[in-house]
């Protein structure tokens, strides 16, 4: 058979690396970086090569499966859709629309078909019980975006290629490949920053790969980033270092922020956070002396008790120093398919609250921390049936044992997923979509956080067979069967939606976008197909205040909900002054591990055990532990057992365990993952501990105890 060459964008993480794929018949011969890709220029990470593992995985489901006792049987698509329609409509008719729950996992953002068809489908269900994985990582950032800029998807993106000072808190971009900063070869960009005389500074409780590359790294006590940031803003006002001449024309509340931060001096916060007052002051001076500077925070500052305050202060620092909407500062992309503008109708919040705990809705979703209680608590509005879409919350959400119990007592569960995993194993029916190299791809979501305005289209590498369905076909068919309303109007609507295939939607989005029909570029889907290495529309450009989605086209720095949350800070300070020497747990990310489903690729899990508890030698010595000790880690929620890995790269008093592991529950069929199961760190986290304004999960700064235990058998180890 003749060799074929395909070009596509990797969709396994946020970097959007271009791939060159050689195939022979139905076999992948080689995957490498596409040197001609306009964005990645040949860069690739291990995940890109693993696309073929997902495509070829014998455990990957391709056809509808129905539970039959403890076993599963393959059924036809028609039979599957008929059953789902009958069961879900019966439950909704009996208990009301909120008896249906919907959860979308992280891979949904990376799947073009899902992203294009999901929002109409979610609305069609008519339920307020919608959940998504972003409330396990970035909901505080989305909340702050919405309050300040008028749209939850208006992320300020670091213009890393033109900056001269990059301050990163709770972020490990060398491993995450630039989260909410989608870019290939982040290491190369940071090295070029240093080569041109710039500075890279990291604040993190662990000396990560990024921290080791940085010019300066400072340990910080988990959960206290908010105090560092308050002190940073305090110094800006104290030393009159503000640069607000330009931004004041469209920004309200500048002086209010100064007044609010006035009590939080470096001298006050230094002993509480572990960074000296003189260091904080010097950092502020260096930041303001730089011609262009960026303050950036990611997962580490989101998944803590003061996540929203952290992101508010990070935005405030960039605004107050004149580094917002400025080349080399943080900017707002203008993607070819303007997903932010297209989703303007979704940019709302606080329209309803969860039934049991009263947690708020943001961008149509409730926080995942309330999902279990909404299933378990009887009464009107109780979730009786769930639809999960490309998600595994039993591993990824807090208090996973409780969530597992909640899923087990549902009247019905539908999973749109390619694996029989820890969550889908309890489903009544699984509808597996085509995936990996079988689907077209256009990164309309990630382009809203890209460092350049680029566009790439990827055609499928391999066709699907007649027994498979694409994700958008599954979602649309369910919508047709579950949406309520006038039958004539719905019939017309569904015919239009069916005609608007992913290719047609992408083409329409491109043609009406900023580089489309009314621009010199005349961009269309065909033009992207004719340019398989992508098109580059240049670096990010100033866009404010026109790009703002607030009604008055102004940024409100001092919005009421954040001022209310700020009232908790004196309580935090008193708690820290009286704190014990309890160990604090933080997470850990690995370059080869983005989601739990990647653990079924042998090339992504091979090698030494990565699911260990990282501990400083001093903390280990206090507990008579050595490298390789088998220990029990316990919190107020639960306990897990795994091995110790000693390292001076972690701050004393802090321990670290990676997320996404724990492949040991009965009934799964992920054979590679089961051979290296690890442990589920979310058996230690609590759904009750949340970021107050949003209900986002708190996964960092968890108080734990560690003690040696006897390892009964080799299989008991988390390797």
- Of 280, 297, 301, give the one whose Cα is nearest residue 236: 280
Tell me, what's the pLDDT at 713? Answer: 61
**Domain-embedded: residue 388:** no
Backbone angles phi, psi at 349, to 5 degrees: -160, 160
What are the tokens at 656? 């670290």
* Long-range pairs for 509-517: beta carbons < 8 A, 24 or more residues apart: 509/336, 509/337, 509/338, 509/339, 509/342, 509/444, 510/336, 510/337, 510/455, 513/335, 513/336, 513/337, 513/338, 514/334, 514/336, 514/338, 515/336, 515/453, 515/455, 516/336
Domain boundary among 283, 299, 331: 331
SS3 313: helix
Residues with pLDDT less than 50, the chain: 714-719
SS3 295: strand
Looking at the fold, whether 49 and 180 belong to one and the same domain comes out as no
How wide is the angle at C-alpha 85 spanned by C-alphas 79 and 86, nearest 5°? 90
Q: Residue 365 carries which DSSP code? A: B
The secondary structure of the chain in percent helix, strand, coil, rounded to multiples of 5, reads 40, 20, 45
**Domain-embedded: residue 449:** no
Tell me, what's the pLDDT at 106? Answer: 85
**Domain-embedded: residue 441:** no
**Domain-embedded: residue 70:** no
C-beta separation of 405 from 54 below 8 A: no
pTM of the entire structure?
0.95
Backbone angles phi, psi at 428, to 5 degrees: -90, -30
C-beta separation of 569 from 312 below 8 A: no
**Domain-embedded: residue 231:** yes
What is the full DSSP assignment across 92-129? HHHH-GGGEEEEE-THHHH-HHHHHHHHHHHHHHT-S-
**Domain-embedded: residue 494:** no
Looking at the fold, whether 712 and 579 belong to one and the same domain comes out as yes
Which CATH number characterizes residue 302's domain? 3.40.228.10
- The gap between the terminal CA atoms of the chain, to the nearest Å, is 42
Q: Residue 385 carries which DSSP code? A: E
Which CATH number characterizes residue 52's domain? 3.30.200.210
Which CATH number characterizes residue 676's domain? 2.40.40.20
Q: Domain span at residue 34?
A: 3-56
* Ramachandran quadrant class, 157 (left: phi over 0; alpha: psi -120 to 50; beta: rest): beta
Distance, CA of 78 to CA of 703 (rounded, Å): 50
**Domain-embedded: residue 381:** no
Domain boundary among 304, 331, 358: 331
Q: Residue 547 carries which DSSP code? A: T
**Domain-embedded: residue 647:** yes
Tell me, what's the pLDDT at 717? Answer: 40
Q: How would you class 238 by CB atoms within 10 Å of its CB: exposed for 0-12, middle for 13-18, buried for 19 or more?
A: middle
Maximum distance among all Cα pairs of the chain, rounded to whole angstroms: 73
Q: How would you class 551 by CB atoms within 10 Å of its CB: exposed for 0-12, middle for 13-18, buried for 19 or more?
A: exposed
Domain boundary among 13, 36, 56: 56
C-beta separation of 327 from 159 below 8 A: yes
The number of distinct structural domains making up the chain is: 3
Tell me, what's the pLDDT at 580? Answer: 78
- Of 502, 155, 506, give the one whose Cα is nearest residue 334: 155
- Of 27, 38, 181, give the one whose Cα is nearest residue 9: 38
């Amino acid at each position: 058979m003749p060799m074929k060459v395909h070009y596509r964008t990797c969709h396994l993480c946020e970097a959007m690396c271009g791939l060159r794929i050689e195939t022979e018949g139905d076999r992948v011969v080689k995957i490498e970086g596409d040197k001609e890709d306009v964005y990645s220029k040949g860069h690739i990470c291990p995940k890109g090569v693993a696309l073929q593992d997902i495509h070829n995985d014998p455990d990957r489901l391709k056809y509808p499966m129905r539970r039959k006792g403890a076993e599963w049987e393959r059924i036809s698509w028609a039979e599957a859709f008929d059953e789902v329609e009958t069961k879900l409509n019966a439950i909704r008719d009996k208990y009301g629309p909120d008896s249906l729950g919907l959860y979308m996992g992280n891979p949904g953002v990376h799947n073009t078909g899902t992203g294009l068809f999901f929002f109409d489908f979610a609305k069609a269900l008519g339920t307020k019980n919608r959940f998504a994985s972003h409330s396990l990582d970035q909901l505080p950032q989305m909340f702050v975006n919405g309050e300040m800029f008028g749209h939850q998807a208006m992320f300020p993106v670091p213009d890393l290629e033109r900056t001269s000072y990059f301050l990163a808190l709770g972020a490990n971009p060398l491993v995450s490949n630039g989260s909410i900063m989608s870019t290939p070869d982040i290491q190369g960009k940071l090295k070029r920053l240093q080569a041109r005389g710039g500075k890279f500074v990291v604040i993190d409780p662990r000396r990560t790969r990024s921290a080791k590359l940085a010019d300066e790294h400072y340990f910080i006590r988990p959960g206290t980033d908010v105090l560092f940031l308050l002190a940073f803003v305090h110094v800006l006002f104290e030393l009159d270092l503000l640069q607000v001449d330009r931004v004041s024309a469209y920004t309200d509340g500048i002086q209010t922020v100064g007044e609010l931060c006035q009590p939080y001096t470096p001298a006050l916060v230094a002993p509480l956070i572990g960074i000296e007052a003189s260091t904080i002051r010097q950092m502020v001076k260096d930041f303001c002396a730089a011609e262009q500077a960026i303050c950036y925070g990611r997962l580490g500052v989101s998944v803590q008790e003061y996540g929203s305050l952290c992101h508010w202060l990070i935005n405030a620092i960039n605004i107050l120093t004149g580094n917002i909407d400025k080349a080399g500062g943080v900017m707002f992309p203008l993607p070819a398919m303007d997903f932010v503008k297209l989703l303007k109708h979704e940019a709302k919040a606080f329209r309803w609250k969860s039934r049991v705990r009263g947690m708020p809705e943001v961008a149509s979703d409730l926080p995942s921390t309330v999902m279990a209680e909404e299933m378990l608590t009887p009464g009107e509005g109780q979730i009786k049936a769930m639809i999960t879409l490309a998600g595994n919350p039993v591993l990824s959400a807090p208090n996973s044992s409780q969530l597992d119990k909640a899923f087990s007592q549902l009247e019905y569960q539908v999973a749109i997923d390619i694996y029989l995993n820890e969550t889908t194993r309890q489903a009544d029916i699984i509808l597996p979509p085509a995936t990996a190299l079988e689907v077209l791809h256009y990164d309309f979501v990630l382009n809203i956080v890209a460092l350049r305005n680029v566009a790439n289209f990827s055609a499928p590498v391999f066709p699907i067979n007649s027994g498979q369905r694409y994700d958008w076909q599954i979602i649309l068919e369910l919508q047709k069967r579950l949406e309520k309303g006038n039958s004539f109007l719905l019939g017309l609507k569904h015919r239009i939606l069916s005609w608007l295939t992913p290719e047609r939607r992408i083409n329409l989005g491109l043609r009406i976008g900023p580089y489309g029909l009314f621009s010199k570029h005349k961009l269309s889907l065909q033009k992207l197909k004719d340019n398989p290495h992508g098109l580059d529309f240049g670096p990010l450009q100033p866009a404010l205040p026109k790009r703002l989605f607030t009604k008055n086209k102004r940024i409100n720095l001092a919005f009421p909900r954040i001022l209310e949350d700020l009232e908790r800070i004196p309580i935090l300070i008193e708690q820290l002054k009286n704190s014990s020497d309890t160990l604090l747990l933080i997470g850990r990310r690995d370059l080869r591990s983005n989601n739990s489903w990647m653990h079924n690729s042998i090339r992504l899990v091979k090698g030494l055990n990565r699911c260990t508890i990282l501990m400083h030698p001093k903390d280990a010595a206090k507990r008579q532990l050595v490298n390789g000790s088998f220990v029990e880690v316990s919190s107020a929620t639960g306990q897990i057992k795994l091995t110790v890995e000693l390292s001076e790269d972690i701050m004393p008093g802090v321990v670290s365990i990676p997320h996404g592991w724990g492949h040991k529950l009965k009934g799964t069929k992920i054979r590679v993952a089961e051979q290296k199961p690890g442990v589920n760190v979310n058996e230690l986290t609590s759904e009750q501990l949340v970021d107050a304004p949003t209900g986002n999960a708190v996964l960092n700064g968890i108080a734990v105890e560690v003690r040696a235990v006897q390892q009964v058998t080799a299989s008991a180890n988390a390797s």
